[in-house]
C-alpha cells in the first residue's frame, strides 16, 4: 500500500493546518495564496476561493501530477500549474505561495532581494524577483520556475512570493523566513543603503554551518570529571 493511496486524508489535514498557521502569522490574507504537498504521484492542494486562514481538510483537493482531480469536491487553485511545475522541475515535496505584505512590497520595487543576512543562505542567498505575468498563466509559471533556479524561494513581481522544500513544514518555515527577511530589508532601507554580504562572507557562513551542523539542536555533553 502506498502512502498516497492509503492516506490522502492525512495530506489534506496537513495542508489545512499549514494554511491556518500561515494565516495566523499574517502571510495568508483572505483567499489569496495557495499551498500544496506532494506524496509520490499525488498532490494535495488548496481549493480556489477558500478562506485560507480557516481552511478545513475538505477544502483541499488531491490531484495527480497532470492536474486531474483524484479526491475532493472543489476546483483546485488557479495556480495549480505553477505548483505542478515546481514539483516536476525541482522535485519539491511542498510548495507555499503567498501574497504576504513584506514580500509583496519588495516584489513591487526590487529585481532581487540581496543577501543582507546569513539566514537567507537557507533559501539559496539572493532571492530573484520573477518578472510580472497574469496570475494562473503558463507565462507566470515559467517566469517563477526560471527565478527559482538554484533557490528554494522566489518573489513574484507585483504579486507575492513562492517557497518550496522537501517537506511541508520546511516550506512553511521558508515562507516565514522570506517574509522576515523582506521586513528586515524594508526597515534597513528606510535608514540608508543596506550592506550586503559579499561572496566570501557567504561562503564562510556555508562552511561554518556545515562544520557546526547549524540549525540542529545539540545535547550538552555529559559532565566531565572535575580536574583537581
Ligand atoms: Zn497569487
Per-residue pLDDT, 177:
98
> How far is the centre of ligand 1, averaged over its atoms, from the C-alpha of 86 (Å)?
15
Per-residue pLDDT, 125:
94
Per-residue pLDDT, 228:
56
> How far is the centre of ligand 1, averaged over its atoms, from the C-alpha of 216 (Å)?
32
Confidence band of 213 (pLDDT split at 50, 70, 90): confident
- For residue 155, give the nearest of 137, 118, 182, 135 by alpha carbon: 182
> How far is the centre of ligand 1, averaged over its atoms, from the C-alpha of 102 (Å)?
14
| Whole-angstrom distance, CA of residue 122 vs CA of residue 214 | 11
Q: Is residue 79 over pLDDT 60?
A: yes
Confidence band of 107 (pLDDT split at 50, 70, 90): very high
| Whole-angstrom distance, CA of residue 46 vs CA of residue 16 | 8
> How far is the centre of ligand 1, averaged over its atoms, from the C-alpha of 203 (Å)?
33
pLDDT for 136-168, tens place per residue? 999 999 999 999 999 999 999 999 999 999 999
| Whole-angstrom distance, CA of residue 97 vs CA of residue 52 | 12
The residue length of the chain stands at 228
Radius of gyration of the chain (CA): 19
Q: Annotated active-site positions, please? A: 79
The percent of residues above 70 in pLDDT, for the chain, comes to 94
Q: Give the contacts of 49 (CB within 8 A, at least 6 positions apart).
A: 31, 74, 75
- For residue 86, give the nearest of 127, 132, 134, 143 by alpha carbon: 143
> How far is the centre of ligand 1, averaged over its atoms, from the C-alpha of 151 (Å)?
19
- For residue 145, give the nearest of 74, 91, 188 by alpha carbon: 91
Ordered by start, the domain boundaries in the chain are 3-212
Q: In three state form, how does the secondary structure of the chain look?
A: CCHHHHCHHHHHHHHHHHHHHHHHCCCCCCCCCEEEEEECCEEEEEECCCCHHHCCHHHEEEEECCCCEEECCCCECCCHHHHHHHHHHHCCCEEEEECCHHHHHHHCCCCEECCCCHHHHHHCCCEEEECCCCCCCHHHHHHHHHHCCCCCEEEECCCEEEEEECCHHHHHHHHHHHHHHHHHHHHHHHHCCCCCCCHHHHHHHHHHHHHHCCCCCCCCCCCCCCCC
Per-residue pLDDT, 8:
63
Per-residue pLDDT, 224:
58
CATH architecture label of 3-212: 3-Layer(aba) Sandwich (3.40)
Per-residue pLDDT, 137:
95
> How far is the centre of ligand 1, averaged over its atoms, from the C-alpha of 197 (Å)?
30
pLDDT for 109-122, tens place per residue? 999 999 999 999 99
Confidence band of 5 (pLDDT split at 50, 70, 90): very low
Amino acid at each position: 500500500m502506498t502512502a498516497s493511496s492509503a492516506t490522502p486524508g492525512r495530506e489534506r489535514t496537513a495542508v489545512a493546518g499549514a494554511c491556518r498557521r500561515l494565516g495566523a502569522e499574517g502571510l495568508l490574507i483572505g483567499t489569496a495564496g495557495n499551498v500544496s504537498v506532494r506524496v509520490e504521484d499525488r498532490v494535495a492542494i488548496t481549493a480556489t476561493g477558500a478562506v485560507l486562514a480557516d481552511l478545513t481538510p475538505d477544502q483541499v483537493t488531491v490531484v495527480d501530477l497532470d492536474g486531474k482531480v483524484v479526491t475532493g469536491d472543489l476546483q483546485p487553485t488557479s495556480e495549480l500549474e505553477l505548483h505542478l511545475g515546481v514539483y516536476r522541475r525541482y522535485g519539491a515535496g511542498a510548495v507555499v505561495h503567498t501574497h504576504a505584505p513584506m514580500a509583496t512590497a519588495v516584489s513591487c520595487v526590487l529585481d532581487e532581494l540581496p543577501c543582507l543576512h546569513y539566514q537567507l543562505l537557507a533559501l539559496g542567498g539572493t532571492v530573484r524577483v520573477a518578472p510580472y505575468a497574469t496570475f494562473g498563466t503558463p507565462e507566470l509559471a515559467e517566469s517563477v520556475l526560471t527565478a527559482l533556479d538554484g533557490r528554494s524561494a522566489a518573489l513574484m513581481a507585483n504579486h507575492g512570493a513562492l517557497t518550496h522544500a522537501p517537506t511541508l513544514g520546511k516550506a512553511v518555515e521558508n515562507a516565514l523566513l522570506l517574509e522576515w527577511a523582506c521586513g528586515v530589508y524594508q526597515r534597513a532601507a528606510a535608514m540608508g543603503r543596506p550592506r550586503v554580504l559579499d561572496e566570501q562572507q557567504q561562503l564562510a557562513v556555508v562552511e561554518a554551518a556545515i562544520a557546526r551542523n547549524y540549525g540542529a539542536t545539540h545535547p550538552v555533553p555529559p559532565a566531565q570529571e572535575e580536574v583537581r
